[in-house]
């Protein structure tokens, strides 16, 4: 079995920071998005897809350097504030299966996130949505990761925190555990993940080994 971990909201508790920065910068451009708006609409999706959706919804053209602005602000916050999901290192080390990361974020953000939180040594194989044509909820990224890791999709188990990620895993023919322990997860998050197709749910990473091994 191959374990495929999302990064933001599963390995690192980054989504609240990221959504705040997105909302602040977009509001400064005259697009009054709140943190809740960003969380609801865009968590789990790539920056490219978020920008395309906003431009379509508002019939506007966003600045060409918007991604750079957001990432610059985000990376500065990550260096001093980003934390790993509680217990995730111990949970990963308790599992005897090959593993990789498949994230909607750009490679630079993934690498920074893993370095700052002390998780980089756990993952030799890291895949980004920038390597495929379509980001989550399309299955492309998970199928790409499975192919590169030499695994059959039916033998893959995905750990995801977003509905887009769960939908992508299901579309790829993979089982998926929904994680609801990130700081961005509201009271209805578990239900949303179940509705998206999650085959199991965990609220704490210490539950992961038992959930997989039982």
* Same domain (yes/no): 142, 193: yes
* Same domain (yes/no): 66, 144: no
* Same domain (yes/no): 97, 24: no
Is the CB of residue 189 less than 8 Å from the CB of residue 166? no
CATH number of the domain bearing residue 127? 3.40.50.1000
Is the CB of residue 106 less than 8 Å from the CB of residue 7? no
* Banded pLDDT at 198 (limits 50, 70, 90): very high
* Same domain (yes/no): 128, 43: no
* Same domain (yes/no): 23, 102: no
Q: What is the mean pLDDT of residues 143-171?
A: 97
Q: What is the pLDDT of residue 91?
A: 97
Mark whether 6 is an active-site residue.
yes
* Banded pLDDT at 213 (limits 50, 70, 90): confident
Instruction: Look at residues 63, 81, 99 and tell me which one is the last residue of a structural domain.
Output: 81
CATH number of the domain bearing residue 23? 1.10.150.240
* Same domain (yes/no): 116, 68: no
**What pLDDT, in 10s, does the model give residues 6-56?**
999 999 999 888 889 999 999 999 999 998 899 888 887 888 889 999 999
Instruction: Note if the pTM is more than 0.85.
Output: yes
* Same domain (yes/no): 167, 100: yes
Q: What is the mean pLDDT of residues 129-153?
A: 97
Q: Which of 6, 22, 49, 161 is catalytic?
A: 6
**What pLDDT, in 10s, does the model give residues 118-135?**
999 999 999 999 999 999
Q: What 3-state DSSP class applies to 37?
A: helix
* Same domain (yes/no): 61, 136: no
Q: What is the pLDDT of residue 39?
A: 87
Say how many C-beta atoms besides its own lie within 10 A of residue 75's C-beta: 16
Instruction: Look at residues 54, 81, 108 and tell me which one is the last residue of a structural domain.
Output: 81
Mark whether 86 is an active-site residue.
no
**What pLDDT, in 10s, does the model give residues 158-179?**
999 999 999 999 999 999 999 9
What is the phi/psi pair of residue 65, to 5°? Answer: -95, 20
* Same domain (yes/no): 87, 185: yes
Which DSSP symbol is given to 156? E
Domain around 23: 15-81
Query: Which of 7, 203, 29, 30 has its CA nearest to residue 99?
Result: 7
Q: Which of 8, 22, 49, 161 is catalytic?
A: 8
Structural domain tally of the chain?
Answer: 2
* Same domain (yes/no): 69, 109: no
What the block records as the tokens of 111 is 């690498």
* Same domain (yes/no): 7, 50: no
C-alpha atoms less than 13 angstroms from C-alpha of 101 in its C-beta half-sphere? 27
* Same domain (yes/no): 77, 133: no
40: left (phi over 0), alpha (psi -120 to 50) or beta: alpha
Q: How many helices (H) and strands (E) does the chain have?
A: 10, 6
**What pLDDT, in 10s, does the model give residues 69-86?**
999 999 999 999 999 999
């Amino acid at each position: 079995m191959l374990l495929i971990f999302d990064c933001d909201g599963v390995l690192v508790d980054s989504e609240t920071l990221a959504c705040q920065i997105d909302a602040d910068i977009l509001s400064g451009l005259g697009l009054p998005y709140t943190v809740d708006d960003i969380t609801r609409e865009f968590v789990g999706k790539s920056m490219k897809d978020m920008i395309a959706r906003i431009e379509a919804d508002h019939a506007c053209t966003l600045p060409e350097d918007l991604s750079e602005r957001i990432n610059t602000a985000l990376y500065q916050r990550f260096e001093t504030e980003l934390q790993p999901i509680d217990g995730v290192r111990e949970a990963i080390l308790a599992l005897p299966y090959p593993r990789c990361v498949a994230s909607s974020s750009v490679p630079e953000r993934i690498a920074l996130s893993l370095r700052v939180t002390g998780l980089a040594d756990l993952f030799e194989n890291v895949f980004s949505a920038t390597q495929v044509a379509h980001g989550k909820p399309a299955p492309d990224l998970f199928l790409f990761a499975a192919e590169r890791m030499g695994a059959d999709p039916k033998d893959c188990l995905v750990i995801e925190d977003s509905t887009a990620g769960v939908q992508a895993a299901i579309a790829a023919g993979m089982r998926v555990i929904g994680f609801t322990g990130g700081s961005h997860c509201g009271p209805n998050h578990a239900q949303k993940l179940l509705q998206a197709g999650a085959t199991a749910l965990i609220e704490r990473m210490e539950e992961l080994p038992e959930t997989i091994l039982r």
